[in-house]
């Protein structure tokens, strides 16, 4: 027995992150990291920030970063919260806001961290099924639900919901807090961000991890009306005043300001997504319509777990979820052009070997 554990710990089921092995030559397409290096300006800003000033605590209010975000997203700084990755932002917002009477609704096939936070904070869960085509239908949200969270585009399907559908839901349910997790929105979906002024029950969460190629930096954001943001500040300041360090703050500001890098990077990822999607369809895969930096695919005649295992033996990692309804799918992050080609080649070999 773990004799010093607080009782609730034994019943927790923590989130399982994708593997992060350090193998030479590994083609890592399993955790939706950006295959390209981050903005050179961001790296330069972080080098500069790694100086004598590190003896001082960072600004607990992340003022300069919130100002930079306010400028480029046309918001007020008091409509912005910054955290140590959007996972931390989500943790704070579940603790601060998602425990509304009626419980928390989320798509049953979605980011699997949501039910973990619900369990951690004792929040009732109200998962709702996807439609047969794997899209989200907000008419399926339980009438009682006091809060709703959904990724848009959804993970792991990559399918985006039109902003209008989300706004209409938020307008029809003013008593329900609606949180849109836009971790992948920059790869071709529309954002709900312009509507947080109009709707005081709408919150948008974003991250630098995917579309700014800074997963290692750990910076994420929430955008909402000031009283929702203040709720997150209260939890943060009851937990750790300094969640965003000086180096991260400098890198994040430079990354946000480097529009040219951002536009070129996302255009490249979207172009590779199209090429990869076509190539996968040519070798017998069904490919869901992705607006994210990954594809969710299943083969007409080959078992997904076996394909994932075969790829692993060829030093290529993707993500397979052994979960009812999606266990014949592989989630493949969009790599650079060489990685995408290597993946197609490996799949061609696996498919023909198994068929023979
Ligand atoms: C990657 C991801 C996150 C977490 O991003 P971090 O900012 O790296 O913590 C949150 N939500 C979804 C849906 C994601 O895919």
pTM greater than 0.95 (yes/no)? yes
- The CA 210 to ligand 1 mean position distance, Å, reads 8
Q: Name the band, by pLDDT with cuts 50, 70 and 90, for residue 355.
A: low
- Tokens describing residue 240: 């750790």
pLDDT value at residue 106: 98
Question: Tokens 């071709």 map to which residue?
Answer: 188
- The CA 208 to ligand 1 mean position distance, Å, reads 9
Helices marked H in the chain: 40-49, 63-73, 86-97, 113-121, 163-172, 226-236, 246-257, 259-282, 304-313, 337-355
Q: Whose CA is nearest to atom 15 of ligand 1?
A: 183
With a pLDDT cut of 70, the percent of the chain lying above it is 99
Bridge partner residues of 319 (DSSP): 331
25: region left, alpha or beta (phi > 0 left; psi from -120 to 50 alpha): left
Q: Whose CA is nearest to atom 1 of ligand 1?
A: 183
- The CA 185 to ligand 1 mean position distance, Å, reads 11
- The CA 83 to ligand 1 mean position distance, Å, reads 12
Render pLDDT for 62-117 as a digit per residue (tens, 0 to 9): 999 999 999 999 999 999 999 999 999 999 999 999 999 999 999 999 999 999 99
Q: Whose CA is nearest to atom 11 of ligand 1?
A: 183
CA–CA dist 168, 175 (Å, integer): 13
- The CA 78 to ligand 1 mean position distance, Å, reads 23
Please list every protein residue whose CB sits less than 6 Å from any atom of ligand 1: 85-87, 111, 151, 155, 181, 183, 207, 209, 215, 220
Render pLDDT for 51-64 as a digit per residue (tens, 0 to 9): 999 999 999 999 99
Render pLDDT for 133-182 as a digit per residue (tens, 0 to 9): 999 999 999 999 999 999 999 999 999 999 999 999 999 999 999 999 99
Non-local (6+) Cβ contacts of 6 within 8 A are none
- Closest ligand 1 atom to 207 CA: 7
Q: 237 pLDDT exceeds 80?
A: yes
Q: 356 pLDDT exceeds 70?
A: no
Q: 354 pLDDT exceeds 80?
A: no
pLDDT value at residue 188: 97
- The CA 321 to ligand 1 mean position distance, Å, reads 17
- The CA 86 to ligand 1 mean position distance, Å, reads 6
Non-local (6+) Cβ contacts of 41 within 8 A are 254, 255, 257, 258, 261
Pocket test for ligand 1, best of 87, 110, 215, 218 (most atoms within 8 A of CB): 87
Q: Whose CA is nearest to atom 12 of ligand 1?
A: 183
When the pLDDT of each residue in the chain is averaged and rounded to a whole number, the result is 96
- Closest ligand 1 atom to 220 CA: 7
């Amino acid at each position: 027995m773990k004799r010093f554990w607080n009782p609730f710990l034994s019943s927790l089921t923590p989130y399982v992150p994708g593997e992060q092995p350090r193998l030479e030559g590994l083609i890592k397409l399993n955790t939706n990291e950006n295959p390209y290096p981050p903005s050179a300006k961001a790296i330069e800003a972080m080098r500069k920030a790694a100086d004598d000033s590190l003896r001082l605590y960072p600004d607990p209010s992340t003022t300069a970063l919130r100002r930079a975000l306010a400028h480029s997203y046309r918001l007020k700084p008091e409509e912005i919260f910054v955290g140590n990755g959007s996972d931390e932002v989500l943790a704070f917002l579940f603790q601060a806001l998602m425990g509304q009477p009626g419980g928390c609704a989320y798509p049953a096939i979605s980011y699997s961290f949501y039910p973990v936070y619900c369990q951690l904070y004792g929040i009732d869960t109200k998962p709702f099924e996807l439609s047969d085509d794997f899209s989200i239908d907000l008419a399926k949200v339980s009438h009682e639900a006091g809060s709703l969270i959904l990724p848009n585009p959804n993970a792991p399907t990559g399918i985006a919901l039109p902003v209008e559908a989300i706004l209409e839901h938020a307008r029809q349910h003013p008593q329900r807090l609606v949180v849109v997790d836009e971790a992948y929105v920059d790869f071709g979906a529309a954002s709900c961000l312009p509507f947080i002024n109009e709707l005081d029950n709408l919150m948008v969460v974003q991250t630098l991890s995917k579309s700014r190629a800074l997963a290692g930096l750990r910076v994420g954001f929430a955008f909402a009306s000031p009283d929702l943001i203040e709720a997150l500040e209260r939890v943060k300041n009851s937990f750790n005043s300094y969640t965003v360090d000086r180096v991260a703050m400098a890198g994040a500001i430079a990354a946000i300001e480097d529009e040219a890098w951002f536009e070129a990077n996302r255009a490249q990822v979207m172009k590779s997504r199209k090429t990869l999607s076509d190539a996968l369809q040519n070798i017998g895969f069904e490919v869901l319509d992705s607006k994210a930096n990954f594809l969710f695919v299943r083969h007409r005649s080959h078992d997904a777990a076996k394909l994932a295992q075969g790829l692993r033996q060829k030093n290529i990692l993707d993500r397979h979820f052994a979960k009812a309804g999606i266990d014949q799918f592989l989630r493949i992050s969009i790599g650079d052009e060489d990685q995408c080609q290597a993946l197609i080649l490996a799949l061609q070999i696996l498919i023909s070997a198994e068929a023979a």
